[in-house]
Amino acid sequence: MRKTGRYPGFTVGARQRILDTAYDLFSRHGVRAVGVDRIVAESGVAKMSLYRHFPSKDALVLTFLQEREQRWTNDWLADEVAQRGDSPGARMLAIFDVFGEWFRLTDFEGCSFINVLLEFDDRESEVRQASVVHLGNIRSFVSGLAEDAGAADPDGLARKWHILMKGSIVAAGEGDLQAAERAQDMGRLLLADVGVAV
């Protein structure tokens, strides 16, 4: 889900305008398809100003990924999940309730961390490595839920759960609007198998 930083009635500085524009464009179109010139044109900020705030496109992408983690992982997903489940196991399943609503949005854009990971095939790339870290942070969030639920191997369960999450996002990108429900059904089986009560 894209959450831009545009607030009616407030003046937004050049750095924030650049970041908001890049956030929207990178989320919708990916990193490789969006050039600096387009970000400059759509943000209304001079190119010199962009490079003053972000010395390179990679620097802007790294900031975008940090912003994505804050807006998507922390402010949206973790928040929504906390409100929807009355137990750790229920909160794990609630991830897919949240996803089901997300997948049906007309501007559903998929997971930026997965998208960037696939766009950068150089394993030494700082951008690719950052995507891996941000994906790992999502898995850590799930691992915390699994640990709270009393799972014997929280990390192992979180890794399996994260596969369901990522798989459902890709399936939704293919057009399967039931992907979240299907993943949730598999999640119920997985929780039952490891003895986590819902």
- 33 within domain boundaries: no
Torsional class of 9: left (φ above 0), alpha (ψ -120 to 50), beta (otherwise):
left
Residue in 156, 117, 115 with CA at minimum distance from that of residue 133: 117
pLDDT at 61: 98
Alpha carbon distance 163, 171 (integer Å)? 12
Are 143 and 158 in contact by the 8 Å Cβ rule? The answer is yes
Domain membership of residue 103 as a residue range: 56-193
Per DSSP, 32 falls in state T
Per DSSP, 153 falls in state S
Q: What is the pTM of this model?
A: 0.90
- 83 within domain boundaries: yes
Number of domains in the chain: 1
pLDDT at 198: 81
pLDDT at 197: 83
- 70 within domain boundaries: yes
Tens-place pLDDT, residues 93-140:
999 999 999 999 999 999 999 999 999 999 999 999 999 999 999 999
Tokens of 148: 């709270």
Stretches where the chain sits below pLDDT 70 are: 1-12
CA–CA distances in Å: residue 58 to residues 63, 116, 118, 127, 156: 9, 11, 15, 7, 33
Give the CATH number for residue 137.
1.10.357.10
Torsion angle of the four alpha carbons 144, 150, 152, 156, in this order, in degrees rounded to the nearest 10: -30
Alpha carbon distance 142, 163 (integer Å)? 11
- 23 within domain boundaries: no
Both ends of the chain: CA-CA distance in Å? Answer: 27
